[in-house]
Chains A and B, each alone.
Chain A
Amino acid sequence: MSIVLITAPAHSMARVLAQKLADKTGWPQYSRDRLAEEAHAQGIKLSRLEASIIKAPIVSEKLAWEKEIYLSFVTDVLYKKIQDQNLIYTGRAAHLLFPGVKNILRVGVSVPMEIRADIVAKQLNLNPGKALDYLKSLDVDIMKWVHYVHRADLRDTSNYDLQLNLENLSLANAADVLMQLAELPEFHLSDESVSHLEDLHLAARATLHLALNKETSNLNLGVRASGKVVTVTYLPRQKEVAESVSRVLGTLEECKGNVCTMAETNILYLSEHFDPKTEDFNQINQLAKRWGAAIELIRLIPPKDGKPFFQEVAGPEPRPEHGAYTGGVEDDGPEVSADDGGLDNTIEELVAMGRSAGGVTIAGGQHEVIDALRDNDNYSLVVLGDLFLSKGPQASTRLTRELGLAIHERMKTPVIKIDELKSQFLFGMKQAFKLLMFCLIALCIYGLVFSFQVPILNFLGGSLHEHWKWAASVAVVLFVPFVAYIYGTISGLILKLVNID
């Protein structure tokens, strides 16, 4: 009555272990090799995904959607392999499958390198040195794969229920251990886990259904399911597809209903170059996380040869229609400029986090940007990065500001420069300290004024005032902004703290 997911390094004895466990328990057993075969047979572009790991850099939105399709495929296939709530599966990152479902036994297996090298040397007919090289590179590749596909680190032990080291433990005994563990009540699927699995499966089926349907195959969608209702999230720029998504999902079996939604808030980030590793990007990202917003990127570059242009980052490719068989040799698509200022990379990162709202490159100036934004009023914040760099620092500042003003006027959205971001929107230790200090100061001021009301009022409008009219006026004019500044800072910080920016 258990699902056992075993993550094992390539070329280890893990499959034998799984087989022994299957023999003991009679549970169905399945492995990644067979899964991969099936994926290839079903036309999942696993081949591209796998090759992309070796041929760095990993690129673009296209593959990100392929990745979703692949994961959905895995979920779908494995779900169907479950018999009487039993399954043993071995793979590269098996323990990360069915994410979030409780009562699944997630096992990691480690096998000493020398043993694996021996196996490889025999299997692939390599000399020991080469075999070791091969394994080392492959392990790195697989780490990258897991990071890319599952957004997780294989070495993160918190994702496992059990780590087995097969250096000394015999396979038979290891299988015993697994069986006993799997029979514990903790690893029997509860009703909640079962319905969680069902939801994951429905979402997976919906994803595949959408991906394989011609009408919706070239969209980058987010699919979730809960209680037999599928929720599909699409990017704001794909507005017009909402209907086809609903129509396509309407033909999905066992789906009670579907909800098609658009990412509600967007942050627009304009810059001349992007880099997902910078602190700037990280900050925007944090903000997006807090707001549940997607980030759209616009790369604004000076017009080439004086000619403005507009280029959208390619979305997933439509699946080739049947009949036009190419043997896997496809015609070249439109040329993409080689240097994209990190745009592709950054979008890739965002896609992986589920926060991408797409991106474009615009060559031109303010006018072109406004033109491009014309039909989209879905931004809650516009962030201006480094822009107009070729114009020199002062003109760059001015042009950036003017662009900001123009966007603000056009879209009625707050526009902010990247360097203001932290101080204006996010709350850190520095802000906490500032808040505390300012609170103390405010407390002092208010305390003093209200403790000494009579003399102060006397000075402001009583008998004392008659002699000190000018002093009183100046005192008021100096004192009031100070109070406003202190207390204004406090209230701003407090509201930032509770997330009302």
Chain B
Amino acid sequence: MHYILANFIQIDLSTALQVVLLGFIGGVLSGFIGSGGAFFMTPGMMNLGIPGVVSVASNITHKFGKAMVGSHKHGKAGNVDKKLALFMLITAVIGIQVAVLINSYLFKGGSGHGAAKGAGANLYISLVFAVILSVVAVSMLKDVLGSSKSGKGRDTGPSRKIADAMAKITIPPVIHFKVADTRVSLWVLLPCGIATGYLAGTIGVGGFIGVPAIIYVFGVPTAVAAGTELYLAMFMGAYGALSYAFQGFVDIRLTMLLYLGSLVGIYLGVYGVKVVNEKYIRLVTSLIILLCVVSRAIAIPMYLRQLGFVSFDPSYDAYFNLISKFFLFASGISGCLVILFNVGRSYIQRRGIQKTLMVVNPDG
């Protein structure tokens, strides 16, 4: 890969188009899933040969702008609990700081030249990525399969089991959040915030953890959770962007190329949510994430070799990279296609006035 400057690659047309496509797929996925999308875009960019930390930095910057626009809308709708956001923010900043420190340490601490440049950071990001997302995907899948077994009853909303358990933790200080109408002990808030911030800073998928955390752990209504998370993401993104930019890792071109695809994708994804049933949404989501995890896991041996932990013929790197890339694109593209297919179908359906519910004695 040809570098213009220290961390910045030369972007030719094909790379640019691939980044736009990544953005689009990430956008569709993020619109559909509710948040995230970075889980696809970050590794996708790494597969294009962009250093992991630059991918994360550009991604978090990208997310920041997106969140700013989105939270403005949510704010007008009254979905933002600023107090909750503030508390989450303070804790998340600590998390991000930890993440940025680790990332830049690993990046600079690598041997500093040649192919191994950034391999430590790459390995670390890939590992965190694989572990966290496996957990999310598997629990989500379990949830879907479980609820389909338990049968007919319609979902009455997110389970309050964890939230109720957490509500019992009343170690002072307990803070009351007015808009979200919930009480949470600072000692519950703290780890959640730090974890969210840390993940956001490391793999750029904070919201992915943040929204479920807010809904399930704090027992906040979904809309307020999404709005607050977005509001939070704006600050976290700003902070992340600021930090990474300060370190000199933000490639503004990549961010802008991502926008080209992602913002269109988000609208389509959101539209998809309106027209696809909820169980299907979660099923598709978890499968996409799992495939992403596989993709990242496949790349791990390559980073291990670059760091000298294992040894095999360096020419195999290309194959690992190829397979990893294949899985990633397979997951993103197939997920995206499934969503777009549904969007397209319902788009056409909506154009017609009615939906046939029942056909009785045709040709009878």
- Chains A and B share a contact (CB less than 8 Å): yes
Contacting chain B: which of A274-282, A316-324, A481-489? A481-489
The reply on A491 being an interface residue by CB < 8 A is yes
Known pairs A412-B278, A495-B268; A480 contacts B356 (CB<8 A) = no
The reply on A453 being an interface residue by CB < 8 A is yes
The reply on A172 being an interface residue by CB < 8 A is no
The reply on B161 being an interface residue by CB < 8 A is no
The reply on A360 being an interface residue by CB < 8 A is no
The reply on B362 being an interface residue by CB < 8 A is yes
Evaluate contact between A480 and B62: CB separation under 8 angstroms.
yes
Known pairs A246-B358, A457-B8; A263 contacts B271 (CB<8 A) = no
The reply on A501 being an interface residue by CB < 8 A is yes
Number of interface residues of B (CB under 8 A): 62
The reply on A456 being an interface residue by CB < 8 A is yes
Evaluate contact between B355 and A264: CB separation under 8 angstroms.
yes
Chain B residues within 8 Å of A259, by CB: 356, 358-360, 362
Chain A residues within 8 Å of B358, by CB: 242-243, 246, 259-261
Please, how many angstroms separate the alpha-carbon atoms of A259 and B242 in the complex? 61
What's the dominant secondary structure at chain B's contact region?
Answer: helix
Contact string against B for A residues 44-77, beta-carbon threshold 8 Å, 1 for contact and 0 otherwise: 0000000000000000000000000000000000
Evaluate contact between B360 and A456: CB separation under 8 angstroms.
no
The reply on A366 being an interface residue by CB < 8 A is no
Interface residues of B in 257-272 (CB under 8 A from A): 259-260, 263-264, 267-268, 271
The reply on A256 being an interface residue by CB < 8 A is yes
Known pairs A401-B78, A484-B263; A473 contacts B354 (CB<8 A) = no
The reply on A325 being an interface residue by CB < 8 A is no
The reply on B245 being an interface residue by CB < 8 A is yes
Output the least CB separation between A466 and chain B (Å).
Answer: 8
What's the dominant secondary structure at chain A's contact region?
Answer: helix
Contacting chain A: which of B193-201, B290-298, B302-310, B345-353? B345-353
Known pairs A257-B362, A473-B246, A483-B65; A461 contacts B347 (CB<8 A) = no
Nearest residue in A to B79 (C-beta to C-beta)?
A: A405
Output the least CB separation between A130 and chain B (Å).
Answer: 49
Chain A residues within 8 Å of B243, by CB: 473
Output the least CB separation between B174 and chain A (Å).
Answer: 24
Contact string against B for A residues 461-473, beta-carbon threshold 8 Å, 1 for contact and 0 otherwise: 1100100011011
The reply on A16 being an interface residue by CB < 8 A is no
Chain A residues within 8 Å of B248, by CB: 460-462, 465, 469, 472
Contact string against B for A residues 178-202, beta-carbon threshold 8 Å, 1 for contact and 0 otherwise: 0000000000000000000000000
Chain A residues within 8 Å of B11, by CB: 453
| Interface residue tally on A, bucketed by range | 35 or more
Evaluate contact between B64 and A480: CB separation under 8 angstroms.
yes
Evaluate contact between B157 and A409: CB separation under 8 angstroms.
yes
Chain A residues within 8 Å of B249, by CB: 461
Known pairs A472-B246, A500-B267; A257 contacts B361 (CB<8 A) = yes
Chain A residues within 8 Å of B274, by CB: 380, 413-414
Nearest residue in B to A250 (C-beta to C-beta)?
A: B361
Output the least CB separation between B153 and chain A (Å).
Answer: 14
The reply on B241 being an interface residue by CB < 8 A is yes
The reply on B330 being an interface residue by CB < 8 A is no
Contact string against B for A residues 231-275, beta-carbon threshold 8 Å, 1 for contact and 0 otherwise: 101000000001100100110000011111111110000000000
Nearest residue in A to B238 (C-beta to C-beta)?
A: A477
Interface residues of B in 180-229 (CB under 8 A from A): 221-224
Known pairs A263-B353, A292-B354, A465-B248; A477 contacts B241 (CB<8 A) = yes
Q: Contact partner of B351 among A292, A449, A485, A490, CB < 8 A?
A: A292
The reply on A492 being an interface residue by CB < 8 A is yes
Evaluate contact between B65 and A501: CB separation under 8 angstroms.
no
Evaluate contact between A476 and B252: CB separation under 8 angstroms.
yes
Chain B residues within 8 Å of A144, by CB: none
Q: Contact partner of B267 among A243, A264, A492, CB < 8 A?
A: A492
- Which 5 pairs show the lowest CB-CB distances between chains A and B? A484-B65, A461-B248, A292-B353, A473-B245, A264-B355
Give me 19 other A-B pairs in contact (C-beta within 8 A), A250-B361, A256-B363, A454-B4 excluded. Answer: A246-B358, A257-B361, A259-B362, A264-B353, A292-B351, A292-B354, A380-B350, A401-B77, A412-B278, A449-B253, A456-B252, A460-B252, A469-B246, A472-B246, A473-B241, A473-B245, A477-B245, A481-B64, A499-B347
